[in-house]
């Protein structure tokens, strides 16, 4: 019997501070088992949102227009920041503490941060879009500045002096002329509430009266305190969403349709009824789950369950081998109105040279390291879901609607989890656990199998791109024609009650699927004539498909940029120009810039990357030829060809330029990216060391997508279902050297309002193209189909005679 139950530490802490104390609670329960009752955990928040006493359920929405919803000052002169974001492992929680501590004037180590639990923190949307620092950092800074202002006013009143006579440092306020007059934040408001209203039309606009500090006055921002969450992750003490245990809990496992689009005809419950620990088979529509007392029993029962499924009348999709042919011949579901600049047709007609190429990127899975999971507790007429969902607020709203429960009786407690970089934007296990918990009347823990996750998780959409470029006689790029087709119809939203997989399988679907999107390249090149066309195509099976698309780390960016930045390299080669110089010429051909000086910062990044790498100006491929026995890049006539490639992109206002150096084995086709350089400009950097690691991880994730990742399927089902059939980057593939240059390319780098832009996803964008360009430089062979697995590279080398 389990004698242990764990709720998240931040909730325990909050309980200890305000609510019925954990100790009392433990005493009342008579055992070292915490029954996570609604009232107990509502405690801290009921207090913070005290003003209008909640008339309804135990989990009203925290009011972002109350300072108390954001900042708590404790009697011991420490502070807790409550932010409605989730940390996916990039250290955003640490960065928020730095930003807010700086504005509040309190030491970093006297602060803590609570994130993303829907009844405790205001709805800032959870995480996504690398917007945490860029967007949400602003209201956090402003409310912290406002708290500082209010505290100074309180001190002024206490000492009977104007606020400008006060000094503040490390959460202690003193009278300038008489430093013996001092008061701490904790003495002023510790354990009490501010009761200060904020303004703003939405949570991002939240503000008080105070202004944020100029950049020059920030002291904690720009330092690199270690991430507070890391010790618990290396000593085993952190409790993750997968680790939650509750009294009376049971375990569930799903049984998915064996073929995509199959209909459930019947279930033979007798196949599992006598198995040990069996509780129930739950099914509705095509959703099937087995519930058992113990985890291994549920796994076994899900394997043993006999069910009859009816094969769909038509194939749900083409095989992955035929995917791009299908996509290019399909009638688009949307798109077709290109964005046109200048007169591309005329420019192509009068061009000295026209280059055309097609680029293909397959579906790539999120393939989170740990499969989808959640625990749901249905006690006392409420529903608590313990989840690693990155958009916990969307999950809470979606589940409330899905179950037909009032929102204020449903909450999501966010906890750490394995990252899928967008997978939990459309998490499935939360809704499943909640549904099953309601059915069973006991806390239910759901966890998908590896094969289920890899086959049925959300996918980054496949792209088929066709590009044309026109060069004049001087090698100038005068026209650019870009067409991208994405297999992205019915792109999933955020845990919506009519798109989450359990709802789809139960037949609860919205009338009109999401249109989906393709993407255009993100660069600041001055090209006088352009046509940009983006189209979406649908596979035959739209609902209940394992090829359902969701937001995979920088959705669409790596696909579009693989095409565009590979093609720019092809154009550079056609113009007999150095790839860096060709790009610089396109960036300097105009002086027009945007409000964030993105063009100027693009130039700064490319320069910085080239300098850090030690770029030698020359035409690719290495010896100037294309393929052939005298192939370029060969070191000493051996089997290893070497080369380097550059690519660049921006995302929102964050700019990156990357250089990859590769070794290509001519005998095996194996590509090793030996060195990576990244020049990165995200404006004001909050935590440089944290940023470096985020950049490294993002680049290597894209490297995995470049070299290995592809969802494979026949015309009935996904066939890449585990780490053998769906390989991922390994330790053996790790570059020997990664150099990161943090660039501040702003024309006025010391301006006091230098913004902090987002970091993370931008680095995923150009990496695949940088690798492809390096392979071309080494071998003279252009790879236009991702991933660059050994067999594909070897075949390309052989067909080029390299």
Partner 1 sequence: MASITLRVNGATKVVDVEPSVPLLYVLRNDLNLQGPKFGCGLGQCGACTVIINGVATRSCVTATSAVRGEVTTLEGLSMGGKLHPLQQAWIDEQVPQCGFCQNGQIMTAKALLDRTPKPTDAQIREGMARTLCRCMTYYRIQAAIKRAAGVVA
Closest separation between CB of residue 265 and partner 1, Å? 28
Q: Which two tokens stand for residue 369?
A: 């390291």
Query: What span, in angstroms and rounded, lies between the C-alpha atoms of 480 and 466?
Result: 11
- How many angstroms from the chain centroid is the CA of residue 20? 36
Q: Identify whether the C-beta of residue 80 lies closer than 8 Å to the C-beta of residue 52.
A: no
Residues 437, 251: contact at Cβ < 8 Å? no
| Smallest distance, partner 1 to C-beta of residue 472, A | 42
Helix (H) or strand (E) holding 307: strand 306-310
Q: Please, are residues 488 and 549 in contact by the beta-carbon 8 Å criterion?
A: yes
- Neighbour-count burial of 222, counting CB atoms closer than 10 A to its CB (0-12 exposed, 13-18 middle, 19+ buried): middle
Shortest CB 369 distance to partner 1, Å = 4
Q: Tokens 């380097």: give the residue.
A: 644
C-beta of 205: minimal distance to partner 1 in Å?
Answer: 31
Residues engaged in binding partner 1 (CB under 8 A) = 2, 4, 88-90, 226-227, 229-231, 233-240, 242-243, 245, 276, 294-296, 299, 367-371, 416-421, 447, 449-450, 689-690, 693-694, 696-697, 699-701, 703-704, 722-724, 728-736, 738
Nearest distance, CB of residue 236 and partner 1, angstroms = 3
CB of 134 to partner 1, least distance (A): 19
Choice between 241 and 505, CB closer to partner 1: 241
471 forms bridges with which residues in the sheet? 353, 477
Radius of gyration over every alpha carbon of the chain, rounded to an integer in angstroms = 28
761/127 Cα distance (integer angstroms) = 12
d(CA 438, CA 378) in angstroms, rounded, equals 6
Question: With contact defined as beta carbons under 8 Å apart, do 624 and 761 qualify?
Answer: no
In the complex with partner 1, the residue whose CB is nearer, 2 or 304, is: 2
| Nearer CB in complex with partner 1: 531/701 | 701
- Torsion sign across C-alpha atoms 383, 384, 390, 396: positive
Q: How far is the CB of 289 from partner 1 (least distance, A)?
A: 17
Q: Compute how many other C-beta atoms are within 10 angstroms of the C-beta atom of residue 125.
A: 23
Report in angstroms how near the CB of residue 453 gets to partner 1 at its nearest. Answer: 9
> Cα(437)–Cα(443) distance, rounded to whole angstroms?
6
If you write DSSP's letter for every residue of 607-621 in order, what string do you get? HHHHHHHTPPP--SS
Nearest-approach distance from CB 654 to partner 1, in angstroms: 18
If the CB atoms of residues 416 and 544 are measured against partner 1, the closer one turns out to be 416
- In this structure, what are the phi and psi dihedrals at residue 418, rounded to the nearest 5 degrees? -70, 135
Structure tokens at 761: 């996803």
Nearer Cβ to partner 1 (109/296): 296
Nearer to partner 1, 152 or 368 (CB): 368
Name the 3-class secondary structure at 544. coil
Nearer to partner 1, 428 or 481 (CB): 428
CB of 411 to partner 1, least distance (A): 23
């Amino acid at each position: 019997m389990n004698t242990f139950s764990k709720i998240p530490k931040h909730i325990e802490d909050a309980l200890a501070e305000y609510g019925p104390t954990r100790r009392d609670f433990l005493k009342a329960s008579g055992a070292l088992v915490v029954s996570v009752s609604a009232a107990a955990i509502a405690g801290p928040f009921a207090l913070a949102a005290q003003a209008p006493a909640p008339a309804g359920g135990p989990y009203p929405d925290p009011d972002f227009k109350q300072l108390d919803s954001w900042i708590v000052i404790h009697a011991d002169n420490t502070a807790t920041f409550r932010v409605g974001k989730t940390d996916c492992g990039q250290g955003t929680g640490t960065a928020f503490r730095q930003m807010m501590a700086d504005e509040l004037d309190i030491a970093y180590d006297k602060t803590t941060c609570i994130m993303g639990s829907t009844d405790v923190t205001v709805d800032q949307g959870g995480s996504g879009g690398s917007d945490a620092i860029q967007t949400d950092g602003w209201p956090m800074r402003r409310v912290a500045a406002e708290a500082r202002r209010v505290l100074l006013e309180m001190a002024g009143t206490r000492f009977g002096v104007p606020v400008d006579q006060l000094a503040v440092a490390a959460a202690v306020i003193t009278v300038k002329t008489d430093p013996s007059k001092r008061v701490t934040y904790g003495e002023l408001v510790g354990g009490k509430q501010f009761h200060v209203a904020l303004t703003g039309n939405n949570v991002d606009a939240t503000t008080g009266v105070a202004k944020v500090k100029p950049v020059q006055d920030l002291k904690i921002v720009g330092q690199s305190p270690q991430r507070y969450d890391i010790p618990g992750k290396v000593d085993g003490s952190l409790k993750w969403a997968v680790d939650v245990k509750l009294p009376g809990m049971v375990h569930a496992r799903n049984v998915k349709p064996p073929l995509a689009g199959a209909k459930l005809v019947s279930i033979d419950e007798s196949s599992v009824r006598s198995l040990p620990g069996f509780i129930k088979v739950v099914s509705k529509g095509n959703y099937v789950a087995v519930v058992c007392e113990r985890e291994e029993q549920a796994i076994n029962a899900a394997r043993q369950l006999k069910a009859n499924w009816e094969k769909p009348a038509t194939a749900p999709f083409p095989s992955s081998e035929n995917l791009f042919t299908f996509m290019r011949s399909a009638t688009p579901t949307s798109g077709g109105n290109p964005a046109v600049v200048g007169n591309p047709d005329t420019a192509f007609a009068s061009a000295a040279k026209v280059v055309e190429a097609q680029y293909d990127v397959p579906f790539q899975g999120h393939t989170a390291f740990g499969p989808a999971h959640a625990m749901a507790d249905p006690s006392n007429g409420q529903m608590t879901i313990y989840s690693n969902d990155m958009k916990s607020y969307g999950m809470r709203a979606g589940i409330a609607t899905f179950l037909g429960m009032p929102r204020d009786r449903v909450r999501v407690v966010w906890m750490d989890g394995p990252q899928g970089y967008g997978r939990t934007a459309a998490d499935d296990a939360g809704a499943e656990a909640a549904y099953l918990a309601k059915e069973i009347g006991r806390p239910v823990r759901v966890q998908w199998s590896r094969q289920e996750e890899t086959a049925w998780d959300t996918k980054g959409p496949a792209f088929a791109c066709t590009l044309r470029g026109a060069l004049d006689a001087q090698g100038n790029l005068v026209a650019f024609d870009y067409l991208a087709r994405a297999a992205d119809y019915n792109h999933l939203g955020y845990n919506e009650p009519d798109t989450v997989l359990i709802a789809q399988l139960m037949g609860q679907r919205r009338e009109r699927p999401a249109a989906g999107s393709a993407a255009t390249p993100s660069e600041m090149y001055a090209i006088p004539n352009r046509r940009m066309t983006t189209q979406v195509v649908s596979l035959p099976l739209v609902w209940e498909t394992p090829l359902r698309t969701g937001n995979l780390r920088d959705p669409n960016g790596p696909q579009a940029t693989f095409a565009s930045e590979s093609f720019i390299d092809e154009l550079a080669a056609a113009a007999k120009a150095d790839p860096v110089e060709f790009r610089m010429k396109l960036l300097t051909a105009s002086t027009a810039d945007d409000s964030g000086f993105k063009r100027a910062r693009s130039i700064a990044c490319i320069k910085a990357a080239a300098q850090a790498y030690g770029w030698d100006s020359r035409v690719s491929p290495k010896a100037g030829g294309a393929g052939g026995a005298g192939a370029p890049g060969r070191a000493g006539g051996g089997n290893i060809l070497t080369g380097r490639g550059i690519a660049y992109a921006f995302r929102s206002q964050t700019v990156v330029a990357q250089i990859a150096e590769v070794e290509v084995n001519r005998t095996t086709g194996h590509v090793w990216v030996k060195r990576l350089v990244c020049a990165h400009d995200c404006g004001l950097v909050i935590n440089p060391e944290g940023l470096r690691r985020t950049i490294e991880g993002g680049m290597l994730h894209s490297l995995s997508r470049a070299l290995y990742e592809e969802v494979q399927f026949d015309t009935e089902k996904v066939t890449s279902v585990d780490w053998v059939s769906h390989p991922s980057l390994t330790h053996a593939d790790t570059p020997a050297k990664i150099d990161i240059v943090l660039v501040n390319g702003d024309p006025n780098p010391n301006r006091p309002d230098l913004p902090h832009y987002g970091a993370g996803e931008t680095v995923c964008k150009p990496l695949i193209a940088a690798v492809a360009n390096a392979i071309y430089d080494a071998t003279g062979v252009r790879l236009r189909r991702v991933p660059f697995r050994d067999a594909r590279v070897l075949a390309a080398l052989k067909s080029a005679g390299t």
